Amino acid sequence: MIILGIETSCDETGVALYHLEQGLLGHLLYSQTATHALYGGVVPELASRDHIQKLLPMVAELLQQQQIASSEISHVAYTAGPGLIGALLVGASVARALAFGWQIPAIAIHHMEGHLLAPMLERPAPSFPFVALLVSGGHTQLVAVKGVGDYQILGESLDDAAGEAFDKTAKLLGLGYPGGPALARIAANGDSSAFHFPRPMVDRPGLDFSFSGLKTFTMTSWRATNQDATSQANIARAFEDAVVDTITIKCKRALKETGYRQLVLAGGVSANRHLQQTLRAVADQEGFDLFYPRQEFCTDNAAMIAHAAAYRLGDALRHHCFEVHPRWPLSQLQPAKDLPKHN
């Protein structure tokens, strides 16, 4: 069985082929960054139009590249939410149309479940149960994961998501869009003792986060400098240190509360090297196992959608109506139906 995965929830068009026994066969990703950079953020209508233009040619290119005939595809999986409604509708309607044309079932996938299970694309893979830290452009959540679809939210951001905080802080420092990776790059050269930012909410019990105050801290710190490259790097470093420390403290707390011994990182911010290295050091010290996907599977991609669908074959639909869910809490998902385990 081969699943075609489609991802169009925001500003990346992704397609992937996942073989139930052989694993991921291949994937393609097109990023719309250049289209949106001009406006300093994602313009939803432009995102939808771009997905329309790119999606079908990318499906054809991937099939050609992998020498797979459409008749070999058993399921089409697509991101049904959360995300931008227009962008989601493009992926959902193309996926459903392909499934209808090829007379195979389609599977609607939750984008964050895709992120959450992405570390299982790697070897060694984590095994259930584990604590997942979802840190992306729209989410910051600590989740107790007992199985596919068995998710208990332990804590989450009360305001900005971690990625959103990276992007907004980068913008304040004049680093353009998308700012997260750019901020991380210059932070590497910053002096960590030049500024000290607070670690929000760590002195309170619980596992919730709040990152929006760090923006104000950035703004006042930045205005008090002569705004040169050195202060830019130092402030970027202070911001990154504050986010990484805060996340690390909460991850340790979540592991303690659940008693689980595995921590899984997923979502765009999990690509942050400083975060990965800090948690790796803590994992070695405290004796828990740490997992995160390779860089290209941290941010949006279709490999994670096709892969998640391999656990959700029991949810495959043959009818032709579909819905997308711009807002869709992860906790609303139902456990996956019992099916033979795939590789």
Ligand X SMILES: Nc1ncnc2c1ncn2[C@@H]1O[C@H](COP(=O)(O)OP(=O)(O)OP(=O)(O)O)[C@@H](O)[C@H]1O
Distance CA 168, CA 177 (A): 9
Nearer to ligand X, 135 or 283 (CB): 135
Q: Give the nearest distance from C-beta 291 to ligand X in angstroms.
A: 16
Q: Give the nearest distance from C-beta 167 to Mg ion in angstroms.
A: 13
Among 136, 140, 141, 272, binds Mg ion (CB under 5 A): 136
Kindly report the number of other CB atoms within 10 A of residue 64's CB atom.
Answer: 9
Residue type, 304: M
Q: Give the nearest distance from C-beta 55 to ligand X in angstroms.
A: 17
Structure tokens at 265: 């990182």
The set of residues, in sequence order, having a beta carbon less than 8 Å from that of 307 and lying 6+ positions away, is 5, 16, 18, 24, 114, 117, 118, 120, 121
Q: Which does 254 bind (CB under 5 to 8 A by kind): ligand X, Mg ion, none?
A: none
Nearest to 80 by CA among 69, 91, 96: 91
The set of residues, in sequence order, having a beta carbon less than 8 Å from that of 65 and lying 6+ positions away, is 26, 28
Among 300, 304, 306, 311, binds Mg ion (CB under 5 A): 300
Contacts to ligand X from residues 16-75, by CB under 6 A: none
Nearer to ligand X, 149 or 268 (CB): 268
Terminal CA-CA length for the chain: 12
Among 89, 244, 269, 310, binds ligand X (CB under 6 A): 269
The set of residues, in sequence order, having a beta carbon less than 8 Å from that of 127 and lying 6+ positions away, is 262
Nearer to ligand X, 99 or 247 (CB): 247
Contacts to ligand X from residues 75-104, by CB under 6 A: 83
Specify the stretch interacting with ligand X by CB under 6 A; choose among 197-205, 229-237, 268-276, 307-315.
268-276
| Torsion angles phi and psi, residue 194, rounded to 5 | -70, -40
Q: Could you tell me how far CA 146 lies from the centroid of its own chain? A: 19
Chain residue whose CB lies nearest Mg ion: 300
# residues near ligand X by CB under 6 A: 23
Q: Give the nearest distance from C-beta 136 to Mg ion in angstroms.
A: 5
Distance CA 302, CA 129 (A): 24
Q: Which does 163 bind (CB under 5 to 8 A by kind): ligand X, Mg ion, none?
A: ligand X
178 binds ligand X (CB under 6 A): yes
Q: Which residues bind Mg ion (CB under 5 A)?
A: 136, 300
Q: Which residues bind ligand X (CB under 6 A)?
A: 10, 83, 111, 115, 136-139, 163-164, 166-167, 178, 180-181, 184, 267-269, 271-272, 299-300
